[in-house]
């Protein structure tokens, strides 16, 4: 058992957001195949500018976007244009290479959610890129009055990856996601009450806040991560405050949780990954050279390609001065055509170039 504290990361550039990063950390690199957890918001978009991420590449991973409040428009080199909305999973498989952009919509006033990455097993590093949207049905326990006269808070859960059973009192509900993953995983949101309705109480539950108990049934071979977004929770005698995440080793197939006040949890799980990964910037491989090659391919595409003027995904267009179709051959297929941004985004940077690699050999790390 380890309590993971968030690390503030200003994303900078066109995306003036600061996120709370929980994975990877010094205490824990992975939970199953989950290798990256960014927790953000609630952010006032008028003050922060919201999410403004120009086209950038990914390899060797899947991105799982889960939003609590607000809407983000996703565009990728497959030609996908999709909104990421509360209660919907957007799962993008990078495989051997994809590029995409993420922009909060004009009508979004508050942005709040989590961005999650899943490492692909070595056997699937070069899988085809893909995009999938899934709306998990809610599992709902209504408020009820106990024998002592106290009324419980309503509970709602959404299982967006894997399967999970929840038991409260004598009732049990089970959620199963049909979304296929490349390793056994669990991802779910659990809301007790109406978290976020009182911002101060959400982060600091009052002393008299109601406590609620329920039990999760999950795969005993899974490592587990319990992230508290709002409220607080007590798991195996350990209290987890807002913005913290508790890591638990594989063990029992049941996990008792006690929440304090109106609470939102993200529950992650997966079998120990069993492989070392090399992760740098937006790229995952198995060694330093994998990253060098992926970075070089993206930079070659950035430098050789000048996007045309039309909105959409460009698969052909004007080459940069001095470039020829022969020198560009083999560059475009790795990450697909560069995603072009709508004119109303008003961006001066049409694509994000890769940063410089550090002057050391990148290390492969396990869980």
- The mean per-residue pLDDT over the stretch 221-227 comes to 98
Contacts of 86 (CB under 8 A, 6+ apart): 67, 68, 69, 70, 113
Q: What are phi and psi of 37, to 5 degrees?
A: -135, 110
What are the percentages of helix, strand and coil residues in the chain, rounded to 5?
Answer: 10, 45, 40
Q: Which residue has the higher pLDDT, 193 or 201?
A: 193
325 vs 282, more confident: 282
- Measured CA to CA, the distance from residue 1 to residue 239 in angstroms comes to 12
* CATH topology match: 1-135+276-367 vs 139-270: yes
Strand partners, 224: 248, 269
pLDDT of residue 352: 86
* Tokens coding 215: 């039990």
| Confidence (pLDDT) at 75 | 94
pLDDT digits (tens, 9 = 90+) for 83-112: 999 999 999 999 999 999 999 999 999 999
Q: What is the pLDDT of residues 142-153, one digit of tens each?
A: 987 665 657 789
Residue 357 Cα distances to 7, 148, 225, 280, angstroms: 22, 62, 31, 9
Can you give the pLDDT at residue 347? 63
Phi, psi of 178 (to 5 degrees): -80, -5
Q: Residue 148's pLDDT is what? A: 62
Report the share of the chain in percent with pLDDT over 90.
71
Q: Average pLDDT of 31-55?
A: 93
Is the pLDDT score of 355 beyond 80? yes
Say what the pLDDT of residue 339 is: 80
Ordered DSSP codes for 63-113: EEEEEEES-EEEEETTS-EEEE-BT-EEEEE-TT-EEEEEEE-TT--EEEE
Looking at residues 163-179, what average pLDDT do you find?
96
Query: What pLDDT, on a 0 to 100 scale, did the predictor assign at position 106?
Result: 92
**Structural domain boundaries in the chain:** 1-135+276-367, 139-270
- Provide the pLDDT for residue 273: 97
pLDDT of res. 303: 75
Structure confidence by residue, pLDDT tens digits, 304-333 = 655 443 333 434 444 445 544 444 444 557
pLDDT at 188 over 90: yes
**How much is the pLDDT for 199?**
62
pLDDT confidence tier of residue 302, bands split at 50, 70 and 90: confident
Can you identify the CATH homologous superfamily of domain 139-270?
Jelly Rolls (2.60.120.10)
Higher pLDDT, residue 333 or 17: 17
Question: Please, are residues 347 and 341 in contact by the beta-carbon 8 Å criterion?
Answer: yes
| pTM score of the predicted model | 0.91
Over residues 167-191, the mean pLDDT reads: 97
Coil/strand/helix, residue 239: strand
Predicted local confidence at residue 309, as pLDDT: 34
Give the tens place of pLDDT for each residue, 230-275: 999 999 999 999 999 999 999 999 999 999 999 999 999 999 999 9
pLDDT band at 301 (very low <50, low <70, confident <90, very high): confident
- Respond yes or no on whether the N-terminal peptide bond of residue 42 is cis (omega within 30° of 0): yes
Which residues are 269's β-sheet partners?
A: 186, 224
Q: What is the mean pLDDT of the chain?
A: 88
Cα(228)–Cα(266) distance, integer angstroms: 7
Q: Which CATH architecture has domain 1-135+276-367?
A: Sandwich (2.60)
Calculate mean pLDDT across residues 286-296: 95
């Amino acid at each position: 058992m380890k309590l993971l504290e968030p690390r503030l990361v200003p994303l900078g550039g066109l995306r003036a957001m600061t996120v709370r990063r929980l994975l990877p950390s010094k205490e824990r690199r992975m939970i199953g195949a989950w290798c990256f957890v960014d927790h953000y918001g609630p952010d006032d978009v008028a003050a922060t500018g919201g999410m403004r991420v120009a086209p950038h590449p990914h390899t060797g991973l899947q991105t799982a976007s889960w939003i609590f409040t607000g809407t983000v428009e996703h565009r990728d080199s497959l030609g996908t244009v999709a909104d990421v909305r509360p209660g919907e999973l957007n799962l993008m498989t990078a495989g051997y290479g994809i590029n995409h952009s993420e922009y909060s919509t004009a009508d979004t006033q508050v942005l709040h959610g989590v961005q999650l990455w899943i490492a692909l097993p070595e056997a699937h590093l070069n899988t085809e890129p893909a995009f999938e949207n899934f709306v998990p049905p809610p599992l709902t326990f209504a408020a009820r009055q106990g024998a002592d006269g106290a009324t419980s808070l309503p509970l709602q859960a959404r299982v967006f990856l894997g399967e999970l059973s929840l038991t409260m009192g004598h009732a049990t509900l089970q959620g199963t996601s049909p979304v296929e993953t490349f390793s056994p995983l669990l991802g779910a949101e659990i809301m007790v009450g109406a978290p976020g309705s009182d911002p101060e109480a959400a982060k600091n539950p009052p002393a008299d806040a109601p406590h609620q108990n329920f039990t999760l049934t999950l795969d005993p071979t899974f490592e587990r991560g319990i992230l508290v977004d709002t409220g607080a929770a007590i798991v195996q005698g350990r209290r987890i405050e807002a913005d913290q995440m508790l890591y638990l080793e594989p063990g029992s197939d049941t996990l008792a949780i006690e929440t304090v006040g109106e609470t939102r949890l993200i529950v992650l799980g997966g079998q120990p990954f069993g492989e070392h990964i090399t992760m740098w910037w937006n790229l995952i491989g198995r060694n330093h050279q994998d990253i060098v090659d992926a970075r070089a391919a993206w930079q070659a595409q950035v430098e050789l390609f000048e996007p045309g003027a039309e909105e959409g995904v460009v698969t052909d267009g004007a080459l940069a001065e001095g470039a020829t179709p022969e020198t560009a051959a083999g560059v475009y297929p790795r990450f697909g055509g560069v995603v072009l941004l709508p004119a109303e985004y008003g961006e001066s940077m049409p694509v994000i170039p890769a940063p410089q690699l550090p002057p050391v050999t990148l290390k492969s790390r396990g869980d």
